[in-house]
């Protein structure tokens, strides 16, 4: 099979399309014929080897541990291990392989059944591949860490990217009033996915506003924690989606000494949350926003574009198979 392989850390040029051995599923795994995958920040960090924390967290200290990157995947089950109970050949699935060796930028991948869920019936392969990590991260940040409630005023900082476009829609599905922060070019997009208010950060600094928010979901982490806390309501919660040393180390002190809470989010692969997202999608409450699609052979170019940080929604990799 064909797959994108890298054997050293570096820029997107280290990614090469090669012939590699097709994986064999273990007893608790399924073999997936991949139709689409998508890029998330963790993929970029793992290929670069930066920040160094990604190497310490299991990426490989000197050289990449996982030779084929890619976590978010959508495809059809080809075969199953003998202990697999939930899926059978022919099933359409999507999932997040970020805790299970990655490997989505290829024609086939083996994945444990707990990392997968049935693909939403009303989505294409590309739309489904855009969902897993970005949407589940937003869900876990808003619902679990942020304790979102109907009628609350929510601010999404970074509302036009992969996580942000899902966060806006998920917050609306919970009955919140959503303000989305983005650049001028993305104002119409953020409004189109349901934001009640769109703040153009090139024109307005929301941290200097008199408006107060019950929950801030921050995907950018481009301001100090103090700036965010200042615009929280008396019992408001700030959730840092992007890594923030300030939130990680100062957050517990702020949370213990006052009524406002500061939380650093750590995404976790969760099948129940994938199924929850599937139900929201099939109910028409959430959709994928896709900026660009690239074939498997152009993954390096896709990484270059994604790394610029200006994608509107998700960057997706499509995988075509030669039919016999």
DSSP string, 88-157: -TT-EEEEE-TTTT---SBSEEEEEGGGEEEPPTTS-HHHHHTSHHHHHHHHIIIIIIS---TT-EEEEE
Predicted confidence (pLDDT) at residue 80 exceeds the cutoff of 50: yes
**Among residues of the chain, what percentage have pLDDT more than 90?**
80
Among the listed ranges 39-43, 91-95, 205-209, which one has the minimum average pLDDT value? 39-43
Mean pLDDT value of segment 34-57: 87
Cα angle for residues 33, 81, 107 (degrees, 5° grid) = 15
Task: Give the fold, CATH level 3, of 134-264.
Answer: Rossmann fold (3.40.50)
Round to whole Å and give the CA distance between 298 and 120.
27
Task: Compute the average pLDDT of residues 290-310.
Answer: 96
Average pLDDT over residues 45-50: 88
Confidence at residue 273, expressed as pLDDT on a 0 to 100 scale: 98
Tokens standing for 258? Answer: 């006052």
CA torsion 150-156-160-166 (nearest 10°) is -40
State the chain's mean pLDDT as an integer: 94
Q: Are 126 and 20 in contact (CB under 8 A)?
A: no
Per-residue pLDDT of 106-139, as tens digits, reads 999 999 999 999 999 999 999 999 999 999 999 9
pLDDT, tens digit (0-9, with 9 covering 90-100), for 146-163:
999 999 999 999 999 999
Write the CA distances from 118 to 9, 166, 252, 261, integer angstroms: 34, 19, 38, 35
The helix/strand/coil state of 48 is helix
Q: Compute the average pLDDT of residues 78-99.
A: 96
Q: Write down the pLDDT at residue 197.
A: 98
Which pLDDT band, with edges at 50, 70 and 90, does 245 fall under?
low
Predicted confidence (pLDDT) at residue 248 exceeds the cutoff of 80: no
The CATH code that applies to domain 2-131+289-318 is 3.90.180.10
pLDDT reading at 56 higher than 80: no
The more confident residue out of 98 and 324 is 98
Q: Where are the domains of the chain?
A: 2-131+289-318, 134-264
The pLDDT value recorded for residue 99 is 87
Q: What residues pair up with 313 in beta bridges, in sequence order?
A: 161
Look up the pTM and report it: 0.94
Q: What pLDDT was estimated at residue 124?
A: 98
For residue 266, pLDDT over 90 is answered with no
Q: Would you say 254 and 225 are in contact if contact means Cβ atoms under 8 Å apart?
A: yes
Calculate mean pLDDT across residues 223-235. 93
């Amino acid at each position: 099979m064909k797959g994108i392989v890298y054997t050293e850390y570096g820029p997107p040029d280290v990614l090469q399309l090669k012939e590699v051995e097709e994986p064999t599923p273990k007893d608790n795994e399924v073999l997936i014929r991949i139709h689409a995958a998508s890029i998330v920040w963790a993929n970029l960090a793992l290929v670069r080897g930066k920040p160094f924390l990604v190497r310490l967290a299991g990426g490989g200290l000197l050289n990449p541990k996982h030779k084929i990157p890619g976590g978010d995947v959508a495809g059809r089950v080809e075969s199953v291990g003998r202990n697999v109970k939930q899926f059978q050949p022919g099933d359409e699935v999507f999932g997040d392989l970020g805790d299970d060796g990655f490997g989505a930028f290829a024609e086939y991948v083996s994945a444990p059944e707990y990392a997968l869920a049935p693909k939403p019936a009303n989505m294409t392969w590309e739309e489904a591949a855009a969902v897993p990590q970005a949407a589940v991260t937003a869900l876990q940040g808003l619902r679990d860490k942020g304790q979102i409630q109907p009628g609350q005023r929510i601010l999404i900082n970074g509302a036009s990217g992969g996580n942000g476009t899902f966060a806006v829609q998920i917050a609306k599905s919970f009955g919140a009033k959503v303000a989305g922060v983005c650049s001028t070019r993305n104002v119409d997009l953020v409004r189109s996915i349901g934001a009640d208010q769109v703040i153009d950060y090139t024109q307005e600094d929301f941290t200097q506003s008199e408006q107060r928010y019950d929950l801030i979901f921050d995907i950018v982490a481009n301001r100090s924690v103090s700036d965010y806390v200042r615009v929280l309501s008396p019992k408001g919660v700030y959730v840092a989606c992007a890594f923030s040393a300030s939130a990680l180390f100062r957050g517990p002190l702020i949370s213990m000494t006052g009524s406002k809470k500061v939380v650093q989010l750590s995404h976790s692969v969760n099948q129940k949350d994938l199924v929850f997202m599937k139900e929201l999608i099939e109910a028409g409450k959430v959709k994928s926003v896709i900026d660009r699609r690239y074939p498997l052979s152009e993954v390096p170019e896709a990484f270059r574009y994604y790394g610029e940080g200006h994608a509107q929604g998700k960057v997706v990799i499509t995988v075509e198979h030669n039919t016999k």
